[in-house]
A and B are shown apart, each in its own frame.
Chain A
Amino acid sequence: MKPVDLERHWMEAFAAQEAARADEPARLASARGAAIARFAELGFPARRHEEWKYTNPERIAKPPWRPAAAASVSPAELAALGLPLEAGPHLVFVNGRFEPALSSLDGLEPGVVAGSFRTLLASDPDRLAPHLGVAEPFEDRAFAALAVAFAPDGAFIAVPRDAALAQPLLVVFVGVPAAEPSAAHPRLVALAGPGSRATLIEIYVTAAGDAGGGAQLTNALGEIAVGENAELEHVVLALEARSATHLAHRHGSVARDGRLTSHGISLGAALARHDLVGTLAGAGAACALNGLYVAADGQHVDIRTTVDHRAPHGASRELYKGVLAGKSRGIFNGKVLVRRDAQKTDAQQKNDNLLLSGEAEVDSKPQLEIEADDVRCSHGSTIGQLDADALFYLRARGLDSGEARGLLTRAFTAPITEALPIAALREQVEAEVRARVAAALERAEAA
C-alpha cells in the first residue's frame, strides 16, 4: 500500500466503527472527530523524516490492522501472567477496554479517583474533558491522533491535593491477539494534585488468545500532570510478546516545585518505539527519567526523549541503559530543550549501551538546544562491550563464561532495576532481564 492507501485504510476503519460509537458521550465523540481530522491532515510520517531515520514508520503503519475486538481474560489467566497485583489497587484493561471484574480498588484512600474514561464521563464529565484530546507536545504525531480516534476507553486517575497514597496504583493493559493483525489503543490520564505523593505503575502484557497469535499493535497514549509541590513516581513496564509492536507517546508535565520520577523498562515486542516528553513548566520543577531496554535477536527498540525546561531552577536527570544481544537494533535520541526563561537549569543526560554480540547495532544521539545563558547541562553516551579484564577475573575465580557475562550484564543494568519502587516489581523485572540476557547469550554461544 502506498502512503495514501495506508491512511485511507485507517480512515475507513474509523468510519466502520461509527455505529458502535453511537451512544458515546458527545465530548468523547467530538474529541475523536477532531483527532481523525488531524490524522487526515498529518498523514503518516515518511522515512526521510529525521525523527524516523532509524525506524521505518511503514513497519508500524503498513500492516492491515483491525481495531482489536473485545476479548476476555479469566482471573486465572491474569494470575498466570505473574504480575505483582497484590501490591496495590489495580485497574485492568483488555484490548483497551476496562474490566471491572479483574480490577480492585481495595485499600485506595478516599478522595482518589481511579476508573475508566467511560465511568468518569458519566459521573464527572468536566473533570476528564480537558484531557480527552491529544496533548500539545504530540499535536504533530499521527499515531497519537489515531489513539484518540480509536481508543475504546482509557484509565483515569486523580490524586487529590495533599494526599499521600500508601500503596502504588497499578494499571495493567492486557493485549489479546486475534487471528489477524489487530490494533489496541490503551490510554492513561493521571493527575497528581498539589502537594500529593503517589506511585503509578503501568504494565503492558500479552495474554494467549484462543484465536491464535496474530500480530498486535499497542498504540499507547499517556498524559500525566504533576501538580505544584507534588511528587509522582511512575513506572512503565512493556513486556509484550514478540508478536507485538509497542508504540507509545507519553507526556508528563510538572508544575512549580513538582517532582516526577519515571522508570521505563522496555523488554518485549519485536518493534518498540517510546516517544517521551517531559515538560518542566513551573519554577523549581524536577524530573528524573530512568530507562532500560533489552533487545535480542530480531528486536528493534527506538527510544526518544524530550525534556523541555520552560521555567527557571528546573532540574532533570536522564539515565538510559541499553543491552543489545544477537542481531538487534537499539536507538536512543535524547533531546534537552532549555528555553530562554529557564535560567539556572541543571540538566544531565546519560545513555550507556552494552553490546553483547558483534551483530547488535546501536545509534545514540544526544541533542541539546539551549537558549538560556545561565544553565548547567551535560550529556554523555557510551557504547561498549563487556570488559575483557573483568570477565577474565571472574572466570579465574571459577565462574564459567556464561555466568560471568550474566553477572557483568546484571551489574550494568543494576542502577536502573535497583531504582524501581516495589520489591515485587523489582524482582520481576530483574528476573525477566536475567532470563532474556541468558537466552541471548546461550544463542550466541551455540552459534
Chain B
Amino acid sequence: MSDEALERLANRDYPFGFTTEIEQDIVEPGLSEDVIRLISSKKGEPAWMVDWRLEAYRRWQKMVEPHHWANVHYPPIDYQAIRYYAAPKQRKALESLDELDPELRRTYEKLGISLDEQKRLAGVAVDAVFDSVSVATTFKKELEKHGIIFCPFSEAVQRAPELVQRYLGSVVPQGDNFFAALNSAVFTDGSFVYVPPGVRCPMELSTYFRINASETGQFERTLIIADRGAYVSYLEGCTAPQRDENQLHAAVVELIALDDAEIKYSTVQNWYPGDAEGRGGIYNFVTKRGKCAGRRSKISWTQVETGSAITWKYPSCILQGDESVGEFYSVALVAKRQQADTGTKMIHIGKNTRSTIISKGISAGHGQNSYRGLVRIQKGADGARNYSQCDSLLIGSRCGAHTFPYLEVANPTAKVEHEATTSKIGEDQLFYCQQRGIAEEDAVNMIVNGFCKRVLRELPREFAVEAQKLLGVSLEGAVG
C-alpha cells in the first residue's frame, strides 16, 4: 500500500538546511540587566528605550512561563543558555543590495528569496533582517517621497522617536504575556512602518529573515502604523537552517490602524520542522496583535505556514473603532511529527464591528493541528457580526486535527456564525484521480490547493505562487 510512499517522502531532507560562514559579532549566552544594557548600547538607543526594556525585563522575571494550556508539548527552555545578540560585521549601512556582502547575497539566493532583480522589478521593497540586524533597506528613498517610513526598528528609534514612544507597547504592553515581556526586554530589531494620513503605500512591503547562529533566539519587534485613511500591505516570510538544538523565536508584532485606515499583514513561513523523530525544530512563540483604533479601520492577517516544531501564535484584532473590521485567513500545514496550536482572537469592542475567520488546517504524517479561536463580543459591542469557518484536511489516518472555538458573547444583538468541517484525503480519492490519469502527487497538490484557495487568494499575488510551491514541497510523499 502507500504506507511506503508515506514514509518515503516524509523523510525528504529540508532543502534549506545549511549555514553561512560569516564573521559574527556575538554576545555570550545568558540574560541579565547587563546584557540588556549592552544590546541597547550596541544599538545606540536613547535612555527612554533602555528604561522601557529594563521595565519589561523586571516584569518578565516575575512571570511564569505558560506550559499548561496549549495543546503542545516541549521540553523546558534554558533562557540562560541563549545568545541574545549576533550581528554580522558590516562597515556601513547599504543603499542597495548591490553593496551587500556577496556571501550574504548567496545566502539569500539559495533561500530562493531572490532579493534582487525579481523583487526590484516587481517594486517590492525588501528589508532583509540577517540575524538580528537589518542589512539592507532597498526602496527607502522611494517610500520617503510619499512620507512613508519603512526602516529597521533600531533606525526608527532614532528617526521617529515620538511615533515609537507613542505606539510601542500600545497594543501589546510589556506585561502582556511571558514571551512578550522577554521580547520587550531583548528585542534586537524588526520592521517599523508608518504611513501618513491618506497615503496608499504603492508597493508591498516585505521582510525576510532567518535564524543562523546556533542558540541565537530571534526576538523581532515590529510596529506598523497606518494613519487616518492610509493603506499598507506587509509581507513577512522566513526560513531556518538545520540544527540539532531547538531554537527559540519570540517576536512581537503590533499593528495600529486609525480612522478609515487598512493594514494587510501576510506571512509565508517555512520553519525547519524537526526531523522525522521531531527533534531540532523551531519554537515559535509570537504575539501578533492589531488594534483597529479608528472608525471604519481594517486589519487583515493572512498566513501560510508549514513546518515549525511548536507553534504558539494567535494573531488577533482588537476591534475598538466603530464599524471596524478584522480578518484572519490561515493555512497551517503539519506533517511528520509536527505539532501546531494556532488560532486567532477577535475582540469586538466598538459598535457594528465585523470579523471574519477562515482557517484551513492540513495534517499529514503524524502531525497534530489544533485551531483555537476566540471571538469575544463585549457588552457595549452592539451590532457585532462574526463569521468563522474552520476546516481540517487529514492526509492519511495517523494525523489529527482539533478545533476549539470559544464564543464569548455579552451583547444580545450580536450575530455569530461558526462552521467547521473535516475531510480526508484517503486512498479512495487518490485512486479515483489515478484512475483518471492523474498521478498521485499531482492529485494531492490539486486537492490541497482546492482546499486552500480561499486563503491563498488573500495573499499578495507573487507570494501566493510561492505559498503554493511551499505547500507542494511540504506535502511531497505525505500520503497514505
Contacts and interface: CB of A to CB of B under 8 A. Distances in A.
Please say whether chains A and B are actual partners in one complex.
yes
A376 B397 CA distance: 14
A374 interface: yes
B426 interface: yes
Contacts of A374: 426
Contacts of B426: 374
A374 B423 CA distance: 11
B409 to A, nearest CB: 14
* Interface residue tally on A, bucketed by range: under 10
A376 B421 CA distance: 10
A43 B344 CA distance: 55
Interface in B424-457: 426
Interface in B258-306: none
A373 B394 CA distance: 13
A374 B421 CA distance: 15
B200 to A, nearest CB: 34
Nearest to A380: B419
A428 to B, nearest CB: 36
Contacts of B397: 373
Contacts of A376: 423
Interface residues of B, number: 4
A384 to B, nearest CB: 11
Interface string A358-388: 0000000000000001101010000000000
A128 to B, nearest CB: 43
Nearest to A378: B421
Nearest to B423: A376
Contacts of A373: 397
A240 to B, nearest CB: 39
Contacts of B421: 378
Nearest to A389: B415
A374 B426 CA distance: 10
B153 to A, nearest CB: 46
Interface string B392-426: 00000100000000000000000000000101001
A374 B394 CA distance: 12
A373 B397 CA distance: 10
B283 to A, nearest CB: 33
A378 B426 CA distance: 19
B401 to A, nearest CB: 14
A373 B400 CA distance: 13
A123 to B, nearest CB: 50
Nearest to A376: B423
A100 to B, nearest CB: 54
Nearest to B426: A374
A408 B423 CA distance: 34
Nearest to B428: A344
A378 B420 CA distance: 10
Contacts of A378: 421
A211 B237 CA distance: 85
Contacts of B423: 376
Nearest to A344: B428
A178 B397 CA distance: 63
A373 B398 CA distance: 12
A267 B447 CA distance: 46
Nearest to B413: A388
Nearest to B421: A378
Interface string A116-129: 00000000000000
A111 B421 CA distance: 48
A374 B397 CA distance: 10
A146 B360 CA distance: 54
A155 B148 CA distance: 84
Interface string A294-326: 000000000000000000000000000000000
Interface string B176-206: 0000000000000000000000000000000
A55 to B, nearest CB: 31
Nearest to A373: B397
A374 B396 CA distance: 11
A205 B277 CA distance: 70
A27 to B, nearest CB: 48
A378 B397 CA distance: 19
Interface string A69-97: 00000000000000000000000000000
A127 to B, nearest CB: 42
A154 to B, nearest CB: 44
Interface string B64-88: 0000000000000000000000000
Interface in B356-410: 397
B427 to A, nearest CB: 10
Interface in A202-224: none
A211 B130 CA distance: 97
A368 B397 CA distance: 21
Nearest to A387: B415
Interface string A178-204: 000000000000000000000000000
Nearest to B420: A378
A71 B337 CA distance: 75
A350 to B, nearest CB: 13
A171 B288 CA distance: 66
B301 to A, nearest CB: 28
A385 to B, nearest CB: 12
A378 B419 CA distance: 11
A414 to B, nearest CB: 22
A378 B391 CA distance: 14
B316 to A, nearest CB: 28
A212 to B, nearest CB: 49
A374 B427 CA distance: 12
A420 B74 CA distance: 58
A434 B421 CA distance: 36
B11 to A, nearest CB: 27
A61 B397 CA distance: 51
Nearest to A374: B426
Nearest to B424: A374
A322 to B, nearest CB: 21
Interface string A252-290: 000000000000000000000000000000000000000
A373 B426 CA distance: 12
A50 to B, nearest CB: 28
B300 to A, nearest CB: 27
Interface in A369-428: 373-374, 376, 378
A223 B426 CA distance: 38
4 contacts: A373-B397, A374-B426, A376-B423, A378-B421
Interface of B: 397, 421, 423, 426
Give the 4 A-B residue pairs with the shortest CB-CB distance, closest first. A374-B426, A378-B421, A376-B423, A373-B397
